């Protein structure tokens, strides 16, 4: 029996719901293995967005007429839907532009008030720049310092080194739920438990987790959890920050202006309650309905089933890629991985690998993946990355492996 035959989940039927995956370019089907960068959009999301733009558009929270009420209800309904999807509360579910903005919001509004000179912020070597640079800026502004948990060569965090850093009584621990390069599925519940015992606040960057894993934010108990809509099969321009109520209530707004105010006087203003205090200006209210439709669509597939399917695909990919001579695979074994595999082919630059695969419409990413410190830690300038989704089939993985054979032939390896 092939590895493909053991897969119950009908990924081909899922793929049929994505118009872009029905395209051919130069007579070839598209093998989309770059969902880690952005997910493609299923019909359900495109239809919801289309309806929002065609039928339900008026600015939210202000108008008294029916269209405006509809738009407001759809926006707030999407918030409730998304909060339910991640196991959080709607008042603590703040719409941002993306996860980068969500992390910046915390770094400015919580960080400037709670982190001071000589304080420690703990990060990991596998963070995306979005979860490094805002903390560097905060540390520079207030005179705090950054410390990094150590990591094994196969990309697993060393929790003993976390404990050693927690002994410094850091103010914050910021960690990716799933690494966007190594695929490492970090033990975030355990990290939250240990960090809280040491009195630290925890921010989890869930960008690479939310589309792939069942999530229960109430049980996870992280103080802040951010993710980005376009990786969850939703539109660009909308992300989410979920936060602990007491912390959010105590925080100053990040951006200020219209829609987030209670009263504005000539010299001072008051703010709305949560979540609107953090949503200045016109929100991406139509995009939010698209994200609401996306999580509803994912719920329809069932996150347990999606996760099991992607774990099977990742295992299959690791097995098949191991057959390619000269290929180094980065990251932990399948059991500790999300739906991401980064690799390098001996003697070929990762960009050349991606380019030759791209000629066959096999879409992978090459570069530092916005994780330059991690590249330094791994001692490589870049990697090539394949990332999987609910629509990925074993045939997609087979196409990648065949494409790598083409690369080896081109380079006469």
> Residue 93: enclosing H or E segment and its boundaries?
strand 93-96
Which residues lie below 8 Å from residue 251, measured CB to CB, with a gap of 6+?
109, 110, 113
Structure token digits, residue 140? 């520079």
∠ CA 62-65-89, rounded to 5°: 50
* Three-state SS letters, 251-283: CCCCCCCCCCEEEECCCCEEECCCCHHHCCCCC
**Cα–Cα distance measured from residue 247 to residue 138, given in angstroms and rounded to the nearest whole number:** 18
**Cα–Cα distance measured from residue 290 to residue 227, given in angstroms and rounded to the nearest whole number:** 15
Give the closest residue to 228 by CA, choosing from 219, 240, 217.
240
Structure token digits, residue 333? 């074994």
**Minimum distance between the CB of residue 390 and ligand PLP, rounded to whole angstroms?**
17
Give the closest residue to 380 by CA, choosing from 366, 364, 400, 363.
366
**Minimum distance between the CB of residue 186 and ligand PLP, rounded to whole angstroms?**
11
Minimum CB distance to ligand PLP smaller for 69 or for 236: 236
Catalytic residue among 370, 375, 395, 402: 370
Whether 363 sits among the annotated catalytic residues: the reply is no
**Minimum distance between the CB of residue 229 and ligand PLP, rounded to whole angstroms?**
8
Is the Cα dihedral 158, 164, 166, 170 positive or negative? Answer: negative
**Minimum distance between the CB of residue 160 and ligand PLP, rounded to whole angstroms?**
24
**Minimum distance between the CB of residue 176 and ligand PLP, rounded to whole angstroms?**
5
Is the Cα dihedral 282, 286, 287, 289 positive or negative? Answer: positive
Provide the binding-site residues for ligand PLP, judged by CB under 6 A.
Answer: 98-100, 128, 130-131, 176, 180, 205, 207-208, 228, 370
Q: Are 363 and 30 in contact (CB under 8 A)?
A: yes
**Minimum distance between the CB of residue 100 and ligand PLP, rounded to whole angstroms?**
3
**Per-residue DSSP letters for 293-351?**
HHHHHHHHH-HHHHHHHHHHHHHHHHHHHTTSTTEEEES--GGGB-SEEEEEETTS-HH
Catalytic amino acids? Answer: 370
């Amino acid at each position: 029996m092939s590895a493909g035959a053991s897969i119950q989940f009908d990924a081909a039927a899922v793929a049929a719901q994505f118009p872009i995956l029905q395209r051919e370019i130069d007579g070839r089907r598209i093998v989309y293995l770059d969902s880690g960068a952005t997910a493609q959009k299923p019909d359900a999301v495109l239809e919801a967005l289309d309806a929002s733009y065609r039928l339900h558009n008026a600015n939210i929270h202000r108008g008294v007429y029916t269209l405006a009420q509809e738009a407001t209800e759809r926006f707030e309904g999407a918030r409730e839907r998304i909060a339910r999807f991640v196991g959080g509360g709607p008042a603590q579910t703040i719409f941002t532009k993306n996860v980068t903005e969500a992390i910046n919001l915390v770094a400015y509004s919580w960080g400037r008030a709670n982190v001071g000179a000589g304080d420690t912020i703990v990060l990991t070597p596998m963070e995306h720049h979005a979860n490094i640079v805002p903390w560097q800026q905060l540390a520079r502004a207030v005179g705090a310092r950054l410390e990094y948990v150590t990591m094994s060569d196969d990309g697993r965090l060393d929790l003993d080194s976390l404990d050693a850093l927690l002994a410094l009584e850091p103010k914050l621990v910021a960690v990716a739920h799933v690494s966007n390069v190594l695929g490492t599925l970090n033990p975030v519940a355990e990290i939250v438990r240990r960090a809280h015992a040491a009195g630290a606040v925890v921010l989890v960057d869930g960008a690479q987790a939310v589309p792939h894993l069942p999530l229960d934010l109430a049980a996870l108990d992280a103080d802040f959890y951010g993710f980005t809509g376009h990786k969850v099969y939703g539109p660009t321009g909308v992300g989410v920050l979920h936060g602990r109520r007491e912390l959010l209530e105590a925080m100053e707004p990040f951006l200020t202006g219209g829609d987030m105010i209670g009263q504005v006087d000539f010299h001072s203003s008051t703010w709305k309650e949560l979540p609107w205090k953090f949503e200045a200006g016109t929100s991406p209210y139509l995009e939010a309905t698209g994200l609401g439709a996306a999580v509803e669509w994912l719920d329809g597939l069932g996150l347990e089933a999606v996760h099991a399917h992607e774990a099977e695909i990742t295992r299959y990919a690791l097995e098949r890629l191991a057959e390619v001579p000269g290929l180094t695979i980065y990251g932990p074994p399948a059991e500790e991985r999300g739906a991401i595999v980064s690799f390098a082919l001996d003697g070929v630059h990762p960009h050349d690998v991606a380019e030759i695969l791209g000629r066959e419409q096999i879409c992978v990413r090459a570069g530092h993946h916005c994780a330059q410190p991690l590249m330094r830690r791994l001692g490589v300038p870049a990697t090539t990355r394949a990332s999987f989704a609910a629509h990925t089939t074993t045939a997609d993985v087979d196409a990648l492996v065949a494409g790598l054979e083409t690369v080896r032939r081109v380079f006469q390896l």
